[in-house]
């Protein structure tokens, strides 16, 4: 099994990348969060890998950090969640937001992920509550409203054309200056100021 890969980023696509390791190009499927964290080709990158063996293919799933890989594994254990849906969930909700949504029982936040309806969201809440408490977590329940605002602000900046990694960094700096109850509008405005610098 392949556990990690380090090599040159040969190509970046919408849901995958090609990592060139010693002249061999590995097609790695990944969340938008992980793909946004990768440098532009042909820079070197390191990804943690989850390998899936099927009768007709060997599929590789890449992760920028151990927390995202742990959540991927956990999501794959839920009936009705395959690798593609697990990546869609992690693209919509990074591990910290996912942990907060589960801790707070926020079904509406889970249904923002494409492919997650009310029924599946309820199953995720029920089956993930206990195991999620043992995984790399994110904000505490009390910080969920702020986490949700930051997730929405991040989505807004990405929709404006900024790379996810740049937007996350800018919002992190903006959030440090803003009070705890800052509105979505304030986060986006301050994030844009940071990105303009």
Res 143: pLDDT = 41
Closest CA relative to residue 51, chosen from 11, 10, 90, 5: 5
Closest CA relative to residue 143, chosen from 183, 178, 97: 97
Kindly indicate whether the domain formed by 141-196 is annotated with CATH number 1.10.20: no
Say how many C-beta atoms besides its own lie within 10 A of residue 166's C-beta: 15
At the fourth CATH level, the homologous superfamily of domain 66-133 is: 5' to 3' exonuclease, C-terminal subdomain (1.10.150.20)
pTM of the model: 0.68
Helical pair 83-92 and 95-104, crossing angle rounded to 10 deg: 90
Q: Answer yes or no: same fold for 66-133 and 141-196.
A: no
Res 106: pLDDT = 87
The count of residues in the chain is: 197
Kindly indicate whether the domain formed by 4-63 is annotated with CATH number 3.40.50.300: no
What are the residue boundaries of the structural domains of the chain, listed by start?
4-63, 66-133, 141-196
pLDDT per 10-residue tile (average), the chain, 197 residues: 93 95 96 92 95 93 93 93 95 88 87 92 91 61 52 78 82 80 81 86
Strands (E), the chain: 4-12, 16-21, 24-30, 44-53, 58-63
193, two tokens: 């100021």
169, two tokens: 């960094």
The partner residues of 20 in beta bridges, in order of sequence, read: 8, 25
Res 141: pLDDT = 35
Strands (E), 31-184: 44-53, 58-63
In angstroms, what CA-CA distances link 3 with 46, 50, 63, 89, 152?
11, 6, 10, 22, 32
- Do residues 184 and 171 touch, judged by C-beta distance below 8 A? no
Res 140: pLDDT = 39
């Amino acid at each position: 099994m392949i556990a990690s890969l380090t090599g040159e980023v040969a190509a970046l696509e919408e849901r995958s990348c090609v990592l060139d390791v010693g002249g061999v190009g590995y097609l790695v499927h990944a969340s938008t969060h992980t793909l946004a964290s990768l440098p532009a080709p042909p820079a070197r990158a390191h990804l943690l890998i989850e390998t899936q063996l099927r009768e007709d293919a060997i599929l590789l799933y890449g992760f920028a950090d151990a927390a995202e890989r742990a959540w991927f594994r956990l999501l794959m254990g839920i009936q009705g969640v395959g690798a593609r849906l697990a990546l869609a969930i992690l693209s919509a909700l990074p591990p910290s937001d996912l942990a907060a949504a589960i801790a707070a029982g926020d079904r509406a936040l889970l249904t923002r992920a494409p492919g997650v309806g009310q029924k599946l969201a309820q199953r995720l809440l029920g089956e993930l509550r206990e195991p999620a408490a043992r995984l790399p977590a994110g904000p505490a329940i009390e910080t969920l409203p702020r986490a949700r605002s930051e997730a929405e602000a991040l989505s807004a900046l990405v929709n404006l054309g900024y790379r996810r990694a740049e937007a996350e960094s800018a919002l992190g700096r903006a959030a440090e200056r803003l009070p705890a109850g800052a509105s979505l509008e304030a986060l986006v405005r301050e994030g844009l100021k940071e990105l303009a610098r």
